[in-house]
Amino acid sequence: MRESNDSRPPVFVYRGRAIANYGFGNDHPFGPDRHDAFHSELAAAGVGAAVQYAEPRRASVDELALFHTPEYIDRVSQLSQEGRGFLDAGDTPAFPGVFDAASDVVGTTLAAVDAVMRGETRRAFVPIAGLHHAARANAAGFCVFNDCGVAAEYLRKQYGVERVAYVDIDAHHGDGMFYGFEDDPDLLFADIHEDGRFLYPGTGSADETGTGRARGTKLNIPMAPGAGDGDFRVAWERVADYIDKASPDFMIFQCGADSLAGDPLTHLEYSEEAHAAAAGTLCELADIHCEGRIVGTGGGGYDRRNLARAWTRVVQAFAARG
Ligand SMILES: [Zn+2]
């Protein structure tokens, strides 16, 4: 029997300086002001009792090591103490304390997973997270540790959840997730992104469907520069159909807002309606296949107004279906 509106658990939304501080300075596209831009918009939206705010937590080294190599974890720790240099070929600078800041992002996504798996809520959202470029053994594209990758491994180890769906509508291909699980048939991957011939990181062509036993468990949909809501809807039908057939046990949604028109780094032209519609569909599919369990992560988005609106619509869509 369907629960009444009043008995729906609130959506957990994570808020706090620990995750706000993951960033590369206020003048950087990935600046600490992104957190506050979102939370101001969400508060202004008047979500009331539909949202419960929750606190960040820090991931342990053992948790990081569920996805990342020990050598890479040690390297980040070392560069964090030195506070200079780059964690990759030149996109992701080390700053003093970057190790703790990146561990706070991972830990907060794990806190969201815990809240959902313990039945405290069915939907949770972490705005500063979804760091999908980080690979098992290196940083990339502003992403130091891959919270989504750690979360997928954590779900298996901590809760015995095998089939995790990762859905990504950030403008950039989620290469850290794709290659991190390329040969893993139980990580169900669907990613709509700007065609790699026009945008970083250059990967994610339609013929990349997984390797070995995992062949056919990954769906990459490249979009032409300038693609709008109509194009997104067509692509999204394929994602929804794929997820429905894959029947996952848990969903991780990376809803990067850099796919909205006006983003300074990309060339896609969706509106926040794309994010709202995707979040709504995923909740429907989560209700059918995995007891409603979904964690949303903010991902990219470098126009503050865009990210504030898109992520607020995601939280509202989560709340609307309880
Ligand atoms: Zn992005």
Query: Distance from the CA of 300 to the center of ligand 1, in angstroms?
Result: 4
Q: Is it the case that residue 2 has pLDDT exceeding 70?
A: no
Q: What share of the chain has pLDDT > 90, as a percent?
A: 88
Close Cβ partners of 263 (under 8 Å, ≥ 6 residues apart): 171, 257, 301, 302, 303, 306
Protein residues near ligand 1, an ion, with CB under 5 A:
170-172, 256, 258, 300
Q: Is it the case that residue 231 has pLDDT exceeding 90?
A: yes
Query: Distance from the CA of 256 to the center of ligand 1, in angstroms?
Result: 6
7-40 pLDDT, tens digit per residue, is: 678 999 999 999 999 988 777 888 889 999 999 9
Backbone dihedral angles phi then psi of residue 317, each to the nearest 5 degrees: -65, -40
Which position among 133, 172, 193, 289 bears the catalytic label?
133
Query: Distance from the CA of 141 to the center of ligand 1, in angstroms?
Result: 8
Query: Distance from the CA of 61 to the center of ligand 1, in angstroms?
Result: 26
Q: Note the pLDDT of residue 60.
A: 98
Query: Distance from the CA of 167 to the center of ligand 1, in angstroms?
Result: 13
Q: Note the pLDDT of residue 31.
A: 86
Query: Could you tell me the sign of the dihedral formed by the alpha carbons of 213, 193, 276, 151, in that order?
Result: positive
Query: Distance from the CA of 3 to the center of ligand 1, in angstroms?
Result: 36
Query: Distance from the CA of 170 to the center of ligand 1, in angstroms?
Result: 5
Pick from 136, 169, 137: nearest CA to 254: 169
Mean pLDDT over each residue of the chain, to the nearest integer: 95
Whether 275 sits among the annotated catalytic residues: the reply is no
165-216 pLDDT, tens digit per residue, is: 999 999 999 999 999 999 999 999 999 999 999 999 999 999 999 999 999 9
Residues 230/268, Cβ–Cβ less than 8 Å: no
- How many residues make up the chain in this entry? 322
Residues 241/280, Cβ–Cβ less than 8 Å: no
Query: Could you tell me the sign of the dihedral formed by the alpha carbons of 150, 154, 155, 161, in that order?
Result: positive
Query: Distance from the CA of 26 to the center of ligand 1, in angstroms?
Result: 18
Query: Distance from the CA of 11 to the center of ligand 1, in angstroms?
Result: 24
32-66 pLDDT, tens digit per residue, is: 899 999 999 999 999 989 999 999 999 999 999 99
Query: Distance from the CA of 241 to the center of ligand 1, in angstroms?
Result: 24
DSSP 210: -
Q: How far apart are CA 305 and CA 193, in angstroms?
A: 20
